Amino acid sequence: MPKVDVYNIEGKKVSDIELADSVFGIEPNENIVHSVLKNYLANQRQGTQSTKTRAEVSGGGKKPWRQKGTGRARQGSTRAPQWIKGGVALGPKPRSYRYTVNKKERRLAIRSVLSSKVLEKELTVLDKLELKEIKTKSMVKALQALKVEGKTLIILPENDKNVVMSARNIKGVKTISANNINVFDLLKYSNLILPVDTVKKLEEVYA
C-alpha cells in the first residue's frame, strides 16, 4: 500500500495515511486512459456545424444559358458548388459525436491516473479543507503553505460553497466534488489536493 503524508491547512504534517492499492497503487494503463480521454473530449463536442447544400441556398432556379452553342461549359444552375454563392458539396451537417465506453474502462482510467499522481508525487492529502468564510486570500495562503505551484485540482468529498467560491478566482486552480471527477481534469491539472474524506470516498467507489 502506498503511504503518503497528511498535512493540515497550515502546511504542517499531522499524520500519514495508507492508500488502497486497488485505487492508488495499480500499474497505470496508458492505452485505457487515452481511450477514455478521447471519449470524454468527443462527448464535449456540440456538433452544431452546418453548411447549406445547393438545394438550400437561395436563387438559381433558371438555367443560366442554353445548353449548346455558346462555347461555354454547360450549366444547369448558378447555385451549383462551383459558383460563387453556390451550395457546399459534402459539407458538414449537425451531428452527434457522442459514444460510450465500457464502465469498467472508465473506472480503470480513473484509477490509473490517480496511481500515476501518487508515483509522480503530485498528490497532496489534507486532514480536512474547511474555510470559515468566502475569502480568496485564505485559499491562496493555504496553497502557499502546502507549497503547491502550477495548475491545481482540489477534489472535495462534497460541494463546499466557501471553498469553491474562495478558489474560483485563483488562476490555474479548480475545485470539483468526488462525484464529478473525470480523466480530463485529472490529467489537465498537475497537482491534486484531496482531503482525507475524499480519499475514503474514492476508495469506496473505485476499489
What pLDDT is stored for residue 46 in this prediction? Answer: 95
pLDDT of residue 61: 87
Name the nearest CA neighbour of 195 among 155, 152, 136, 138: 155
Backbone angles phi and psi of 89, in degrees to 5: -85, 130
pLDDT for the residue numbered 80: 95
Domain made up of 3-46+102-206: CATH architecture:
3-Layer(aba) Sandwich (3.40)
The pTM for the full model equals 0.85
Residues 19/3, Cβ–Cβ less than 8 Å? yes
Angstrom distance (rounded) from CA 93 to CA 188: 31
State the CB neighbour count (10 A cutoff) for residue 12.
10
CB 111 within 8 A of CB 32: no
Whether residue 186 contacts residue 113, with contact meaning beta carbons closer than 8 Å, is answered with: yes
Q: What's the confidence (pLDDT) of residue 69?
A: 95
What is the model's pLDDT at position 153? 97
Query: What's the pLDDT at 207?
Result: 83
Which 3 state secondary structure label does DSSP give 94? coil
pLDDT value at residue 101:
95
Rounded CA Rg of the chain:
27
Cβ count near 35 (within 10 Å):
18
Q: Mean pLDDT of residues grouped by 10 in the chain (207 residues)?
A: 90 92 94 97 96 94 94 95 95 96 96 95 93 93 91 94 94 94 96 95 92
- In the numeric block, the cell 493555504 is attached to 142
pLDDT number for residue 149: 86
Q: What is the pLDDT of residue 127?
A: 93
- Residue intervals of the chain classified under CATH 3.40.1370.10 are 3-46+102-206
Asked if residues 196 and 127 have their Cβ atoms less than 8 Å apart, the reply is yes
Selection from 152, 194, 144 nearest residue 6 by Cα = 194
Which of 62, 55, 48 lies closest to 81 in space, CA to CA? 55
